[in-house]
A and B are shown apart, each in its own frame.
Chain A
Amino acid sequence: MKKISGVLLILLTAAFALPLAALIYLSFRSGDGFGLEQYRRALSDAEFLRRLSCSCRITLLSLAFHLPVALICGLLLARGRFRGRTGLSMLFVLALLLPFQVIMLPVYKMSLASGLYDSYWSVVLLAAFAPLGTLISVVLIRGVPESQWEAASLETNSLFETMRLVILPQILPGLAVLGLLVFADTWNMVEQPLILLPTPEKRPLSLAFNDILKTNTDYLYAGSALYALPIVAVYFLLFGFSARRKIR
């Protein structure tokens, strides 16, 4: 019984690894040969590179805003003392649960009214204030014992100092995971740029294989692999980092 279930686990795990392995294999295939041809084509296509830089710009800008926003909103919801805190938290949960289509139309109209339509900033703002990060940091901040928080408040009046000295060092690993999830979420955005960025040249890589690169399939798999690479690399870096920390 034990043996059978062990084999089953290995088989299932292999099945989960298979798609990425197949993608890597196909990315090295070109014609009837095997080599870097597809990668050479992808990286010499100006359109592909522009899409890649769109994705990088949107994701990095979003992360730069999202992390501080998530921390200060999370702090407010986890430790703030005001009426309606539970109700406010419920609104964050509501925004997380409902799909983008529920707010798509007013967001489109607001982007037109504010002049942000067809600008990266419309997508960046949506990503920066997304509820996911706030809800995760509420959980992280609640994990820090309240007594430590109160002790620090006696030492200094500055919220920033309390955050830096007491909260941040303890939630750093969780914060790294948060960053990773937000990175993945933003890097993978489809519906938002589809509605808000009508100009194909401004669209990120997440849409590339459905519009402008659809006909140009001679580097499809290498392009896909390159698109997946940053997040996979960061994932393994974090994984290795946490493994090393545990050994110490």
Chain B
Amino acid sequence: MAGFPAVLAFLLIYIFPMGMTMVYSFLENSFSKTPVGFDNYVYVWGKPSFQQALQNTASLTAVLLTASMALALLLAYLLWKHPGVGKTAAAVLLLPLLVPSGAITPLWQKLFDTSPFSSDARCYAAITSLFLWKYAGAGALILRSGLDGIAPDVLNAASMDGAGPVKSYLQVCLPMLRREISLTLLLFLMFAFRIYKESYLLFGEYPSEKMYLIQHYMNNQFMKMNFQYVAVSAVSLATLSLATYALAYAVMRKKEGQI
């Protein structure tokens, strides 16, 4: 079929490099090409700057996920309760997803007065609010689409049993939204692992200590031509991302099993 050459090109551009990254991580450097086993891993994982970057990436991801999920759940509830305003609100909430980060970061820099010397708290506030603004609306709309599928009978039964609107939303509706919740979570995770773009635009190449992510470490090593260390960091980042996805997936499956 006509699709195969295009698929081959995709494999060459996106999948083959993943394999190459894996190979590079086991070579002395990209010039001598001597295999060195896990030496690069031992070196990189032992570096305090890498450990710091790994820890920062994990905490930032956790903060971004929790905050955006909470806001998306709140927005979805409000949109659902007010279908009249919902349409206009939905248009406004979705728009930030499309606005290029580079166009809005100058405003955020002014608002939060960020510089390489800004405090960690200020940097966290800046990047978390930017993340919420850009992505929480899209997540809320996905969750909202799931709420339409819930039969009114179920909600009536819940209110007969004395559950208030908030209680029935949290305890009756949300367990029925596992598909939408997992999709939203996946989306937020994906964007959280791409937050380097916004971090670069906001803080430049040298951010405050808590904002120094694995991607910054990789960029620094890239500039120093230490390609084997870039490869080790890339494999670590990929493992971290995939492990988080797998964990999220497993939790969702378990929840599904309970119901």
A227-B103 contact in complex given A16-B137, A73-B10, A98-B238, C-beta closer than 8 Å: yes
| Chain B residues near A172 (CB-CB < 8 A) | none
> Please, which residues of chain A bring their CB within 8 A of the CB of B42?
none
Asked if B222 CB lies within 8 Å of chain A CBs, one says: yes
Given contacts A98-B18, A209-B102, 7 further A-B contacts (CB under 8 A): A6-B82, A181-B98, A190-B200, A209-B105, A209-B106, A210-B102, A224-B106
Are A107 and B17 in contact, with the CB atoms below 8 A? yes
C-alpha gap A46/B198 in the complex (Å) = 26
| Total A-B pairs, Cβ < 8 A | 219
Question: Out of A6, A92, A104, which one reaches B234, CB within 8 Å?
Answer: A104
Contact of B92 among A17, A23, A184, A228 (CB under 8 A): A17
Q: Does B193 contact A (CB under 8 A)?
A: yes
Tell whether, in the assembled complex, residue B3 and residue A73 are in contact, meaning their CB atoms are under 8 Å apart: yes
**Closest partner residue, chain B, to A15 (CB atom):** B133
Q: Pick the contact of A129: B6, B81, B95 (CB < 8 A).
A: B6
Residues 200-230 (chain A) with a chain B CB within 8 angstroms: 205-210, 220-221, 224-225, 227-228
List 23 A-B residue pairs with CB atoms under 8 Å apart, sorted by A's residue number.
A6-B78, A8-B78, A13-B88, A19-B133, A23-B104, A92-B10, A95-B14, A97-B190, A97-B245, A99-B196, A101-B215, A101-B233, A102-B18, A105-B231, A105-B234, A129-B9, A181-B98, A208-B102, A209-B102, A209-B105, A221-B107, A227-B102, A228-B103
**Residues of chain A with a CB closer than 8 A to B110's CB:** 26
Q: Given the known A-B contacts A80-B3, A224-B107, are A102 and B102 also in contact in the complex, defined by CB atoms under 8 Å? A: no
Across the interface, name the chain A residue whose C-beta is closest to B90: A13
In the bound complex, how far is the Cα of B77 from the Cα of A195, in angstroms? 42
- Which chain A positions have C-beta within 8 A of B165? 1
CA–CA, A231 and B104, complex, Å: 13
B21 touches A103 (CB 8 A): yes
| Contact B201–A210 (Cβ < 8 Å) | yes
Contacts of B222 in A (CB 8 A): 104-105, 195
B237 cross-chain contacts in A, Cβ below 8 A: 98-99, 101-102
C-alpha spacing A83/B89, complex, angstroms: 45
Interface residues of B in 120-179 (CB under 8 A from A): 133, 137, 165
Q: In the complex, what distance in Å separates the CA atom of A101 from the CA atom of B78?
A: 37
Kindly provide the distance from the CB of A242 to the nearest chain B CB, expressed in whole angstroms: 11
The answer to the question of B253 belonging to the interface, with a C-beta cut-off of 8 Å to chain A, is no
Q: Does A241 contact B (CB under 8 A)?
A: no
**B99 at the A/B interface (Cβ < 8 Å)?**
yes
Residues of A near any B CB (own CB < 8 A)? 1-2, 5-6, 8-10, 12-13, 16-17, 19-20, 22-23, 26, 69, 72-73, 75-77, 80, 88, 91-92, 94-107, 109-110, 125-126, 129-131, 134, 159, 180-181, 184, 187-188, 190-191, 194-195, 205-210, 220-221, 224-225, 227-228, 231-232, 235, 239
* Contact status B100-A184, CB under 8 Å: yes
User: What residues of B have a CB within 8 angstroms of the CB of A102 in the complex?
Assistant: 17-18, 21, 234-235, 237-238
* Identity of the chain B residue whose Cβ is nearest the Cβ of A213 in the assembled complex: B106
- Cα(A95)–Cα(B18), bound, Å: 9
- A residues in contact with B101, CB < 8 Å: 188, 190, 206
Shortest distance in angstroms between B87's beta carbon and chain A's nearest beta carbon? 9
B96 near A16: Cβ-Cβ < 8 Å: yes
The prevalent SS among residues of B at the interface is helix
Given A206-B102, A207-B102, are A10 and B85 also a contact pair (CB < 8 Å)?
yes
A16–B189 Cα distance when bound, in Å, is: 21
Residues of A within 8 A of B215 (CB): 99, 101
Q: Give A227's nearest chain B residue, CB to CB.
A: B103
Cβ 8 A contact of B218, one of A12, A20, A104: A104
Whether B1 sits at the interface, judged by CB under 8 Å, is: yes
Bound Cα distance A17, B13 (Å): 38
Residue numbers in A under 8 Å from B82 (CB-CB): 5-6, 9
CB distance from A172 to the nearest CB of B (A): 20
- Report if B185 contacts A (CB, 8 A): no
B259 within 8 A of A: no
**Distance (Å) between the CB of A38 and the closest chain B CB?**
12
How far, in angstroms, from A70 to B227 measured CA to CA in the complex? Answer: 32
Give B233's nearest chain A residue, CB to CB: A101
Contact between chains at A106 and B96 (CB < 8 Å): no
Q: Is the CB of B103 within 8 A of A106?
A: no
Residue of A nearest to B110 (CB): A26
| B95: A residues at CB distance < 8 A | 16, 20, 232, 235
